[in-house]
Amino acid sequence: MTPDLECVDLVKRFGDTTAVDNVSFSVPPGSFFSILGPSGCGKTTIMRMIAGFLDPTTGDIRIKGGSVLDTPPNKRPVNMVFQHLALFPMMTIAENIGYGLRRRGMSKPEIARKVDEALERIGLPGIGARKVDELSGGQKQRVAIARCMVLEPDVLLLDEPLGALDLKLREHMKVELKALQAAFDTTFVYITHDQSEALVMSDQIAVMNAGRFEQVGTGQDLYYRPETPFVAGFIGDTNRWSGRIEKAEGGTLQLRTESGLAMRASGAGLAPGDMAEIFVRPEAIRLAATAEGLAGFDNHLSGTVTSILFNGAASRLLVQDAAGETLEVTLPQSGEFDRLKRGDMVHIGWGAGQATCFATGAAGAR
Amino acid sequence: MRNQSRVAFYLLLMPLVLWLGLLIIIPHIDMLLISLRERVSFGVYDRSLAQYEKALTEPLYLRTFARTAVMSVLATAITLLIAFPVAYYIAKMARGRLQQVLFLLCLIPFYVSELVRTFGWMILLRETGIVSNLLQWAGLADQPVEMLYTDATMMVGLVYTSMLFMVVPLVTTLESLDDSVIEAGYDLGGSGLSVLREIIIPHAMPGIVSGCIVVFMLSLGNYLTPTMLGGKDSLWFTEMIYNQFIVRSNWELGAAFGFMLLVLSSVIVWGMLRLTGRTLKETMG
Amino acid sequence: MIPTIPQSRTVRIVYGGYVALFFLYLALPLTVVAVFAFNDSQFPSLPWEGFTWNWFFGDTRPQIGVFHERGILGAVGTSAFVAACVAVLSVAVGTTNAFLFNRYDFRGKGLLYVLMLLPLVIPGIVLGISILVFSSTLANGIWDLAQMDIQALRPGLLLVILGQFSFITTIATLVISARLQKFDRTLEEAALNLGADRLTAVRTITLPFLAPAMIGAVVVAFLMSFENFNTTLMLVGSDAPLTIAMFDRLKEGSTPLLNAVSLLLMLGSSLLALMMILFQRRS
């Protein structure tokens, strides 16, 4: 099947800086594709090139197999939900949604019917006569999507549309957006710097950094099997050390961190003597009252609790080991550690498979 | 504390009331009263509508009145048409340094006296002026061409004089239009023309209205440009007011003319506000 | 049509050309005035008779320069005096107005605000005659009552100052109000909390905050007064400010002397305007 959207060797330079550096990807029909990256990584530039507001320096953009480089933005079969929505404040809701249909020269009754249908679909029937500023943030969001969807675009682009909403509403809209995407059965390309948005909604996520794609995969791929140090550090929280490899057998490595902590970890392409960066997630570390409870783990050590960062389900401990290294460890809420307090001795352990290593200075390490 | 605040309030109110009362309201009432009297003999006056009767029956007065109104509307329309693309260019096309420089270039000519600007046009357009010489040199004319003292020249001067007051409010409102709103218009399939009609102009409406009001007022009340650039046989209403007051010392008729000008400008300003559903406070404040 | 929307080359060139033409139109009259200030001829027009500084510094007939021409120098002085008075008065009243409208809610506030804006939509000449009419009514009334002739109420500098003040105050009020609106009231509350009384709080916190707007308003008021023509024309007495003096000479026929005065005027006001803009950008 031809992908709905395909970018081939896309490059965009502004003067001396390369905003987008040789990026290729394709998005299959009906999927939710996210580009995730810190601000300034070039994701907005990609989106604006797809929408037609920027010309790529080199490379090609194809929609349903055909190149759209020579198509002006008002003729491209893609529509965009802007960061601040860009609803037209001088028009009513119905006029906003009908704007694109009027441009296509559709008859008035037909437009009215389509607009009503769209309002029905986004769960806001009967608000057509209202002004834009009479709506709440979440309602505006839905209207902005409906305004694009009535045009039945091949691809809908969404430029951090949840950024302006407050936290509660943002959580709610994540679920809603996913549902809308399923209902409209349209390809969504979503850009964001918020990993939770990307992880929750997407079928595929591209992690972008400094103009390049670091890794493309499902949320699980990125979380469990990061391919670059950047992805390992960017997705989820992590403890991070650098150290030297002492022994390598198959995929399992024996290494020592700069502060002298010995550790077993996993990673490919590393030889004894290499410098490496090691990532261990707080939630991958098992906490126990006694050393016996951790017998099955490749790494174990004991330390004192220096701080309890209580945050309900997301609570953490800071544990300092004998060498002076501080680790962040997830505090399980199963009841056994409720009485833990600062200064207590605890035992912690983790498997070699949970400690991911990358050679220092490997591609993408920044 | 409460008392202190009351005293402060009255202290702040006083200058405003004195200013508006003594310099704006009472003088205008006085002017109205003077326009409503007729001199019977030396120092003796009667209440009458004679001045207005004279103003409205004498064809020269009436024609000048209508001409001034129509020409001012025309000058406003031309100014808007010329200024809009320029304001749009400054607000939306130019970026960074260029934008600032262009905006400043628009401002600076207008810190210079209107007299100087008019003088400039006279040097350019008179019989022995630059343009006339240029035309002869280029072989387009075989004798000096007099371009002063016509309506077209006067229009050039009027438009020039009020340009700033159109460009500035337009630039300000257009700048407040988010680029992404224009992009959304294109993204949803709009062409340049439909985006202009449905998005840009409705957004710029407040600027258009306030620009038009100010330009209209300035044209209507202009004295210098019509006197220096306009034709000898085509009077401007302000010239008639000046003549009655200073030359003929007929204050009664002059006051009536002044009042007519005031009513005309108020009606047109009010009409423009009504038409666009805006208030004076929003537009000027 | 913004830079991110692709446009054909022709459209962009035509548009750019139009804007260039517009700026040529703006610059043309002023440039011509400036250039002919240096023409070594009795007339500010072609033919070009050669370059001279005489219209600035000349002291022999027929080419008496600006700096030796008593009439013009006197008129500049008169204008500067009037402009200074108008600037100080209008900014003072503008400031009290701004505080009144920003800080107090009272019955009739809306009406007063509209009245405050009114001078902007009254033609300058009408403002002039109404003040002329009223002041002479007053003067006549006083004569009838007390047989006193109050010269100040006859056309002259006082009336010119009042006439210009009557509409420039509106502009000063708007400029200062705009800045006062942006003022964070909690700063004043913090000052009260730290032991200042109300007046001290305003003097030490609010007024310094307003200073850029007030200085801007002084400059704008000064320039507007200096170049005012319409209102002044109706109220002027024997001491003519510069614009009126130049107008009278222009009616008699122009010499490059007027160009020289104009050029100095342009330089002066652009300099003042630029200084103000730079100053405001900095703060």
Q: Residues B244-262: pLDDT tens digits?
A: 888 888 888 889 999 999 9
* Residues B47-284, CATH architecture: Orthogonal Bundle (1.10)
pLDDT of A363: 43
> How close A234 comes to chain B (CA, Å)?
29
Q: Which amino acid is at A348?
A: I
Measured CA to CA, the distance from residue A26 to residue A64 in angstroms comes to: 10
Q: How far is C2 from chain A (nearest CA, A)?
A: 10
Helices (H) and strands (E) in chain C, counts: 12, 2
Per-residue pLDDT band at C50 (split at 50, 70, 90): confident
Report pLDDT digits (tens) over A66-107.
899 988 888 889 999 988 888 888 889 999 999 989 888 889
Q: Do A90 and B199 touch (CB under 8 A)?
A: yes
Q: Per-residue pLDDT for C2 more than 80?
A: no
**B142 pLDDT more than 70:** yes
Name the β-bridge partners of A276: A243, A359
State residue B285's pLDDT score: 57
Mean confidence (pLDDT) of chain B: 86
pLDDT in tens, A313-349: 888 989 988 878 888 999 888 888 888 888 888 888 8
The residue-averaged pLDDT of A147-167 equals: 87
- Look up the ipTM and state it: 0.86
Measured in whole angstroms, the distance separating CA A12 from the mean position of its chain's CA atoms is: 22
Residue C181: in which H helix or E strand, if any? Answer: helix C157-181
Write A146-149 long-range contacts (CB < 8 A, 24+). Answer: A146/A97, A146/A118, A146/A119, A146/A121, A146/A122, A147/A87, A147/A96, A147/A97, A147/A99, A147/A100, A147/B188, A148/A79, A148/A80, A148/A81, A148/A100, A148/B188, A149/A79, A149/A118, A149/A121, A149/A184, A149/A186
Query: Pairing between strand A155-159 and A78-81?
Result: parallel
Q: Which tens digits make up the pLDDT trace of A201-257?
A: 999 999 999 899 999 999 999 998 898 889 998 998 888 888 888 888 877 888 888
- Check residue B284 and give its pLDDT: 67
Q: Give CA separation, A60 vs A150, A154, A209, in Å.
A: 27, 17, 21
What pLDDT score does A254 carry?
Answer: 87
pLDDT of residue B1: 47
**Domains, chain A:** 5-232 (3.40.50.300), 237-359 (2.40.50.140)
Q: What structural domains and CATH numbers belong to chain C?
A: 77-252 (1.10.3720.10)
pLDDT average, residue stretch C251-265: 83
Instruction: Give the mean pLDDT of B199-218.
Output: 90
Calculate mean pLDDT across residues A133-139.
88
The CA distance from C25 to C20, in Å, is 9
Cα–Cα dist A192/A32, whole Å:
13
Q: What is the pLDDT of residue C18?
A: 93
- Smallest CA-to-CA distance from A354 within A297, A296, A291, A270 is with A297
Q: How high is the mean pLDDT of chain A?
A: 87
- Contact status of C5 with chain A (Cβ, < 8 Å): yes
Which residues in chain B touch residue A76, judged by CB atoms under 8 angstroms apart?
A: 187
Q: What's the pLDDT score for residue A364?
A: 40
Looking at per-residue confidence, does B231 or A291 come out higher?
A: A291
**Residue A8: Cβ-neighbour burial (10 angstroms; 0-12, 13-18, 19+):** middle
Share of chain C above pLDDT 90, in %: 28
Query: Which of B130, B238, B255 is closest, CB to CB, to C125?
Result: B238
> Which of A78, A86, A104 lies closest to B184 in CB terms?
A86
Q: Which residue of B has its CA nearest to C16?
A: B89
pLDDT band of residue A191 (cuts 50, 70, 90) is: very high
C23 → closest Cβ in B11, B105, B284: B105
Contact B262 C230 (CB under 8 A): no
pLDDT of A366: 38
Indicate yes or no: CB of C5 within 8 angstroms of CB of A53.
Answer: yes
Bridge-partner residues for C194, per DSSP?
A: none
First and final CA of chain A: distance in angstroms?
A: 37
For chain B, what are the domain ranges? 47-284
Which segment of B32-41, B197-206, C82-91, C166-175 scores lowest on mean pLDDT? B32-41
Residue-level pLDDT at C201: 83
pLDDT tier, A358 (very low <50, low <70, confident <90, very high otherwise): confident
